[in-house]
Amino acid sequence: MKIIFILSFCLSNLVFSQTFENRLYQISTIDALLAGYYDGDKTVRDIKTHGDFGLGTFNGIDGEMIVYEGIVYQTKSTGEIIKVDNTIGVPFASVNFFNKDYNENIQNIKSYEDLKTLLNQYNICKNYPCAFMIKGDFDYIKTRSAPKASKPYPPLVEHITKTQNIFKENNIKGVLIGYYLPKYFAKFNVPGYHFHFLSDEKNFGGHVLQLAIKKASLSLDRLYDIDLALLQTKEFEKGNIKVGKDDLDKVEKYNNQALDKDYYKEILNLINEEIKNQFTQMDEKLKINSKKFSSIDITSNEAFKILEKICNKNQYAYDCSTIDTQGIIRQIAPKEYSNFIGADISKQEQIIRLHKNKKPVISKAIQTVEGFQAFDLEYPIFDNKNKFIGSVSILTKPDFFAEIIKPKIKEHSVEVCIMQLDGKILYDYNQEEIGKYLFKDDLYKQFPSLLRVGEEIVKNKIGENEYEFLDKQMKQTVKKRIIWNTIQLHGTQFRITLAYKI
């Protein structure tokens, strides 16, 4: 009896290994879920016999399922996390027994898109489903969960778009549970990446919309076999699964738009802050250096040396100069611009403003006497008796806009624009639009919704709206959503906008 017991035990483990290792177990299909078949005949107990790792939902689409270390958790629509009873029904889920095939440490993942880019490098998952477990420290997590639907059940696209709740956390420890499914899975599941999150404290989780990872351990389990358990309910047996051609796209699009709206605001704010910091650094340095002219002749060689140092320390500077109380350039660096000494710039708007208020100014983008487009940042100069004797100027190239913006949006199908309040475009994805005027150029006149939104952008420092204009290739008219905020320094405002197709 003892030998038989040992043999039986070994055989059962062999069968278990052959049956469940590297096997994905799925309950129902995505089309059934989209069509509103939200009640399943399988239970949480069935889930546990087929996997210790995975994700899904519960009868009625009641929140989000997270299966981790053999325990099944539910993220309720309120954000609460609970352990789930074995008797609760499951209409849709994917689980497996997690056995890592690969492991590595990752860090400084700035977005969900960056994570996908990293995971795409694992070629072993190109044509196979893969389970991913990513455990560590997260700078940011954004999730969603929806409440239980009421009968008669609406289609998934209707339920999700009307009821889901969004949750956010910063600086949190936890684990991502998810899968990559190849494109050919589209017939019965959602292809691509799908992750749920569970915090170490078991008090935050849900379907992941956005993230940023500080540092984490990434484990991968490649799967070779699939068990698909169709629903065995009267509703499914007698029903007619009707799914709109674009229903899945609509659900994903809604999730993406919910993501885009907040995530792109974060990108826009980040761009705004970096541009503002660039202006602020120039401003602070010019403020400090303006005091050095208080006791010297602003036309002297000593003044030239100070101006030269200011320019050399700013990679975006065209030139630096001193201007007297009559608006005449009296000294300039570098030497290649010395022929502009004596030029009269007294009628330029920023000079008029500085002479009137005796306070620092920054111009709009102007055509300078030197012959190029630039921003003119100026600080007043006062002598030792506090008498106004002129100003010190730094002409700045707008080039730094592109250097800040392009790396931030290279992974996204968005367009960033910087515009003056008179409608002049200072930066745009399409370089041909730079220098055009929104309210004057013929290119924009055939798009009245764009002009209306443009007027709103001028009037309001922050906002969002929708309009129609040409796509990024400038070939066909598309509908876009736009968000904007403001860069402001010394009374001069620039609007910075981010737009994306919807």
pLDDT given at position 260: 58
Residue 33's Cβ-count burial label (10 Å; 0-12, 13-18, 19+) is buried
C-alpha distance from residue 175 to each of 106, 180, 390 (Å)? 13, 16, 61
Condensed to tens digits (0 to 9), the pLDDT of residues 424-458 reads: 999 998 889 999 999 999 999 999 999 999 999 99
Predicted structure pTM score: 0.58
DSSP 453-473: HHHHHHH-SSEEEEEEEE-TT
E strands present in 355-501: 361-362, 366-367, 373-382, 388-396, 414-420, 425-427, 463-470, 477-489, 492-501
Taking residue 284's Cβ as centre, other Cβ atoms within 10 Å add up to 10
* Token pair in block for residue 56: 């899904």
Given pLDDT bands bounded at 50, 70 and 90, which one contains residue 4?
Answer: very low
Q: Quick one: which of 352, 336, 343 has its CA closest to 322? A: 343
Single-letter code of the amino acid located at 419? M
* Rounded Cα–Cα distance for residues 105 and 135 (Å): 10
Tens of pLDDT, residues 53-66 = 999 999 999 999 99
Binned at pLDDT 50, 70 and 90, residue 250 comes out as low
What is the model's pLDDT at position 73? 98
Q: Is the pLDDT of residue 344 over 90?
A: yes
User: pLDDT tens digit string along 137-148?
Assistant: 999 999 999 999
Spatial distance between the Cα atoms of 63 and 71, rounded to a whole number of angstroms: 16
Provide the CA 218 distance to its chain's centre, in angstroms: 22
**pLDDT for 291-311, tens place per residue?**
999 999 999 999 999 999 999
pLDDT over 80 at 324, yes or no: yes
Domains and CATH numbers, the chain: 24-234 (3.30.1330.80), 277-396 (3.30.450.20), 413-501 (3.30.450.20)
Take residue 490 and report the two structure tokens written for it: 């010394």
**What CA–CA distance (Å, rounded) separates 68 from 55?**
9
Q: Could you give the maximum distance between any two Cα atoms of the chain, in Å?
A: 111
- Nearest residue to 493 via CA among 396, 426, 395, 407: 426
